[in-house]
Amino acid sequence: MRRTKLGFGVAVCLGAVLVGCLVGPAGLGVRGILLELLDAVPGVEVESGLSVTQQAIFWEIRLPRVVLGVLVGAMLAAAGTAYQGVFRNPLADPYLLGISSGAGLGATLGIVAGGAIGPVGIPLLAFVGGLLGVAATYTLGSTVGGGRGAVVIILAGVAVGAFFNAIQNFVQQQYDDSLLSVYSWMLGRLSTDGWSDVVIALPYVVVSCVAILVHRRVLDVMAVGDVEAASLGVDPARVRLLLVVTATLGTAAVVSVSGLIGFVGIVVPHAVRLVFGAGHRILLPLSLLLGAAFLVLCDVVARTVLAPAEVPIGVVTALVGAPFFLVVLRRHKGSL
């Protein structure tokens, strides 16, 4: 049964990838795409039938964007699942611990600095800002109340987020000529500038997702409570710190190249729980696969619904996620 569920997740993810590669103003065709991918396999030579222009569109625009969507969606969904598991809070998501506010401040400073920091400056500063946000949150949470409860960390994240947002608003006010660029980044977007963003995010996503998947059984143990988990040989504080740092590292990496894309970490894990159950052995890998598919399909909607104009992908995920968030809040109101 577990293999069947995972097979379903793989099929949905591959289907979303195919749709993402197909949809666009330039028609490529299923046969042309599949043959082009087959031709890329070492030792295999086939003629895809695509023109040189179509091949360039596929390899330099559509496929990098789809692969970036897979990485971002998978990482946000896996991180959301991990946060909800370690904090036993159904409303936890990758932006719980000050990541979005820290990354937003870093990106704002990079945009204001402009060409002085080079082409990789904005992602780098966003990445550093996200890490500083979670470090400040965890330090504050450990100082106030000894970090004994999940609620302490959550409230610390709210405080750190408000502080970073205040600084960001001040910087935007001082450099209002950069407002359009800042808001464009904050609304989220998947780059079409080739493979550079994929290369930046890939190693962090792989390391983070592998580490989270390795601890999927431990998350099931922690679901019964810290005292019970400790009696079974699990160190809740150590596991919580490890998973929070790991999930944050991957999230900061993808946020640094995609901007702020919300609600993926809430929508996908809860949808998987409703259909397939709450056990992390199946919840985590399915959330990873379906998170990738969800964001790729949201990106398809973002670039087609008002074509040739493009809707920020963060707007699309918010339109789906905000009502879903209210449903989750209502279902768990007695346990929050």
Answer yes or no: do 52 and 126 share one domain.
no
Answer yes or no: do 46 and 194 share one domain.
no
* Distance in angstroms (rounded) separating the CA atoms of residues 312 and 238: 38
Answer yes or no: do 111 and 227 share one domain.
yes
Is 254 inside any structural domain? yes
Q: Is pLDDT at 233 greater than 70 in this prediction?
A: yes
Lowest mean pLDDT among 114-128, 154-168, 171-185, 288-302: 114-128
Number of domains in the chain: 2
Answer yes or no: do 47 and 95 share one domain.
no
Q: Could you check whether the bond before residue 308 is cis, i.e. omega within 30 degrees of 0?
A: yes
pLDDT class for 323, splitting at 50, 70, 90?
A: confident
Q: Is pLDDT at 112 greater than 90 in this prediction?
A: no
* Distance in angstroms (rounded) separating the CA atoms of residues 142 and 187: 32
Lowest mean pLDDT among 4-8, 44-48, 70-74, 76-80: 44-48
User: Which of 79, 73, 75 lies closest to 94, judged by CA?
Assistant: 79
Q: Is pLDDT at 229 greater than 90 in this prediction?
A: no
Instruction: Dump the DSSP string for 133-151.
Output: HHHHHHHHHHHSGGG-SHH
Answer yes or no: do 287 and 167 share one domain.
yes
Neighbours of 54 (CB within 10 A): 18
92: helix, coil or strand? coil
CA 115 to each of CA 123, 128, 192, 255, 306: distance values in angstroms, whole numbers, following the listed order:
13, 18, 20, 21, 31
Answer yes or no: do 173 and 117 share one domain.
yes
Q: Which residues fall within 8 angstroms of residue 32, CB to CB, at 6 or more apart?
A: 48, 49, 50, 54
What is the pLDDT of the chain when averaged over all its residues?
A: 87
Q: Is pLDDT at 336 greater than 70 in this prediction?
A: no
Q: CA gyration radius for the chain? A: 20
- What's the average model confidence in pLDDT over 211-228? 90
* Distance in angstroms (rounded) separating the CA atoms of residues 212 and 242: 9
Helix (H) or strand (E) segment spanning residue 197: helix 196-214
At 135 the pLDDT is: 86
At 145 the pLDDT is: 57
Is 336 inside any structural domain? no
CA 15 to each of CA 7, 62, 246, 317: distance values in angstroms, whole numbers, following the listed order:
12, 15, 29, 19
Diameter of the chain measured on Cα atoms: 65
CA 47 to each of CA 35, 52, 54: distance values in angstroms, whole numbers, following the listed order:
7, 12, 13
DSSP state of 26: S
* Distance in angstroms (rounded) separating the CA atoms of residues 33 and 13: 16
Is 102 inside any structural domain? yes
Query: Tens digits of per-residue pLDDT, 293-302?
Result: 999 999 999 9
pTM of the shown model: 0.90
Domain limit, last residue, from 10, 25, 59: 59
- What's the average model confidence in pLDDT over 160-164? 91
Answer yes or no: do 266 and 288 share one domain.
yes
Answer yes or no: do 140 and 26 share one domain.
no
* Distance in angstroms (rounded) separating the CA atoms of residues 240 and 146: 14
CATH of the domain at 112: 1.10.3470.10
Parent domain of 130? 66-331
Is 96 inside any structural domain? yes
Q: How many CA atoms lie within 13 A of 302 on its CB side?
A: 26
Query: Tens digits of per-residue pLDDT, 87-102?
Result: 887 777 877 778 888 9
Answer yes or no: do 191 and 221 share one domain.
yes
Tokens 């809040």, residue? 329
Is 262 inside any structural domain? yes
Answer yes or no: do 127 and 83 share one domain.
yes
Query: Tens digits of per-residue pLDDT, 42-60?
Result: 888 888 888 899 999 999 9
- What's the average model confidence in pLDDT over 178-203? 85
At 56 the pLDDT is: 92
- What's the average model confidence in pLDDT over 281-301? 96
